[in-house]
A and B are shown apart, each in its own frame.
Chain A
Amino acid sequence: MKYVLMFVDTGQFHAEVAAMSDADREQAYGLVRQWFTDNADKIKSQTHLMPAHTATTIRFGPADPVITDGPFVEGKEIISGFAEIDVANLDEALRLAKTWPACPLIEIRPIAG
């Protein structure tokens, strides 16, 4: 089954990464790169997004679409990237997700169809 792992950033995590020394930050990124390499057989694609301040939301209604600054949910938790994986079932997806070395939250969703 195919799933998307949605990586979710929190303000706190963001601040922690920003506060790291360059060497520590590079090491943290290294862990993430390593994770993608280690699981390359299951990961079909992956996308890292620019931070939330770059987001723009367009909302459709009866009148003209309304364009606003920021992500669609104003909250502390922001999607920072996603990866498509192909594994046997949810347990395997969970097993993979549990080894994720970075941001503090992942939503797992099967791909429709």
Chain B
Amino acid sequence: MSTAAEAELARVVRDHAGRLAASLVSLIGDFPTAEDLVADAIEAALRHWPAEGVPDNPDGWLYTVARRRGLDTLRRNARYRDRLTLAGWPLPPPEPGDRLRLIFTCCHPALPRTGQIALTLRVVCGLTTAQIARAFLIPETTVAQRVTRAKRKISDAGIPYRLPDADELGNRLSEVLTVVYLLFNEAYLSTTGEQVQSRDLADDAEFLAAMLATLMPAEPEVLGLLALIRLHRARAAARFTADGEIIQLPDQDRSLWDHEAIANATRLIAKAASFKRAGPYQLQAAIVAVHAEAAQWADTDWQQILLLYTMLDGLAPSPVTKLHRAVALRYTAGPQEALTEVEALSSALNGYHLWHATRAELLRDLGRTNDARAADARALQLTANPAERSLLRQRISWT
């Protein structure tokens, strides 16, 4: 199957799986049971559709399989079975709230992060266990176990299928956004150019963020995350050489960036800002937007970036944010000031390859080549990502 056909198949499944799951949970009233049925239907679709073609009404097809399967496996549960027997097609379309309930349940804080991610991908995006395993480079049995455990916890611990109340919404939403963000990071920021995936998780992350933005249009952090994802993706074409080597931001061919997508995402940030509730995703998106708006690397507005990182560190203090802030400092105050800030993060970030890589660049700026090479070597020991490894290896041998 061609990559385009696979992407189309993924899109169709993604469009319908979550909606079917939401409808079925409402119908049956039991999340884990409905989840099973949808997952089975998707497995069946992936067996049939590549050869037979996507049916004209994929949602009806999926529902028919899920229903048949349900009537088959739910013999002992008369209550669920009766509801399924009575249900006609088409199912009442899920309310917007149903799809939100689905994602809030998958991302319930009482579930472990790995379970939240696996469940969200399965239930809301319609990924199979095998696809999740391939995307995260972990054994399929591990994914299956995470899904099973998460569903068992939902049933046994009494995790409800509901929308959070207004006073819980802030925390619960940030849990959901974290899951989407981690997913995007995993998919996008840590990929290599050569990797050919049958399923691009970055599509799923953007799909989730866009869905949340549609369903919660007055939540500025949702808009911020969507803008952040779109801004990163708008630069995707310029990130790698044909051989899968990383091209760093200063060296990227900016004509390859999707400038229309950048302009749209920037408008999204402005809309988010109009709510006057700044947050980490909005600030991160704004930082990426400042980079994206510079016609050339030399035009980058580092003062603005420094300011945004300072705000971000004020809202959500973290050593990694301080490290990024130090990079902005390099271009505003100079490498020595930046290095002082970076050295101050030594105990917190000693195990983080980018700390060593940033330190190496600053040392190189200051003419301390041997120290720089040692720092790059340390960074190399700490990252498994092949594209990053290759970049670091080049720097060690060239300088």
Specify which of B108, B160, B164 is in contact with A88 (CB 8 Å cutoff).
Answer: B160
User: How many residues on the B side are at the interface (Cβ–Cβ under 8 A)?
Assistant: 10
22 CB < 8 A contacts A-B: A1-B158, A3-B158, A88-B158, A88-B160, A89-B158, A89-B159, A89-B160, A89-B162, A90-B108, A90-B157, A90-B158, A90-B159, A90-B160, A91-B159, A91-B160, A91-B164, A91-B168, A95-B168, A109-B157, A110-B156, A110-B157, A110-B158
Q: Which A residues fall within an 8 A CB radius of B?
A: 1, 3, 88-91, 93-95, 109-110
Among B158, B159, B168, the one with the most A-chain Cβ atoms within 10 Å of its Cβ is: B158
- For residue A89, which residue of chain B has the nearest CB? B160
Say how far B100's CB is from chain A's closest CB, in angstroms: 15
Which residues from chain A contact B164 at a C-beta distance below 8 Å?
A: 91
B110 within 8 A of A: yes
Say how far A18's CB is from chain B's closest CB, in angstroms: 33
- For residue B161, which residue of chain A has the nearest CB? A89
State the 4 A-B residue pairs at the shortest beta-carbon distance, nearest first: A89-B160, A1-B158, A89-B158, A90-B158
Say how far B105's CB is from chain A's closest CB, in angstroms: 10
- For residue A91, which residue of chain B has the nearest CB? B160
Q: Roughly how many angstroms separate A1 CA and B160 CA in the complex, as a whole number? A: 11
Q: Roughly how many angstroms separate A59 CA and B160 CA in the complex, as a whole number? A: 37
Residue interface mask B148-162, A partner, CB < 8 A = 1: 000000001111101
- For residue B154, which residue of chain A has the nearest CB? A90
Among A91, A94, A95, the one with the most B-chain Cβ atoms within 10 Å of its Cβ is: A91
Residue interface mask B243-281, A partner, CB < 8 A = 1: 000000000000000000000000000000000000000
Which residues from chain B contact A90 at a C-beta distance below 8 Å?
A: 108, 110, 157-160
Which residues from chain A contact B110 at a C-beta distance below 8 Å?
A: 90, 94
Task: For chain B, residues 144 to 185, give those with C-beta under 8 angstroms from any C-beta of chain A.
Answer: 156-160, 162, 164, 168
Which residues from chain A contact B156 at a C-beta distance below 8 Å?
A: 110
Among A3, A89, A95, the one with the most B-chain Cβ atoms within 10 Å of its Cβ is: A89
Is B157 a contact partner of A91 (Cβ separation < 8 A)?
A: no
Which residues from chain A contact B157 at a C-beta distance below 8 Å?
A: 90, 109-110
Say how far B250's CB is from chain A's closest CB, in angstroms: 48
Known: A90-B108, A93-B158. 18 other contacts (CB 8 A): A1-B158, A88-B158, A88-B160, A89-B158, A89-B159, A89-B162, A90-B110, A90-B157, A90-B158, A91-B159, A91-B162, A91-B164, A91-B168, A94-B110, A95-B168, A109-B157, A110-B156, A110-B157
Say how far A88's CB is from chain B's closest CB, in angstroms: 7
Q: Roughly how many angstroms separate A95 CA and B110 CA in the complex, as a whole number? A: 13
Q: Roughly how many angstroms separate A93 CA and B110 CA in the complex, as a whole number? A: 12
Which residues from chain A contact B108 at a C-beta distance below 8 Å?
A: 90
Q: Roughly how many angstroms separate A110 CA and B156 CA in the complex, as a whole number? A: 7
Say how far B343's CB is from chain A's closest CB, in angstroms: 32
Which residues from chain A contact B158 at a C-beta distance below 8 Å?
A: 1, 3, 88-90, 93, 110
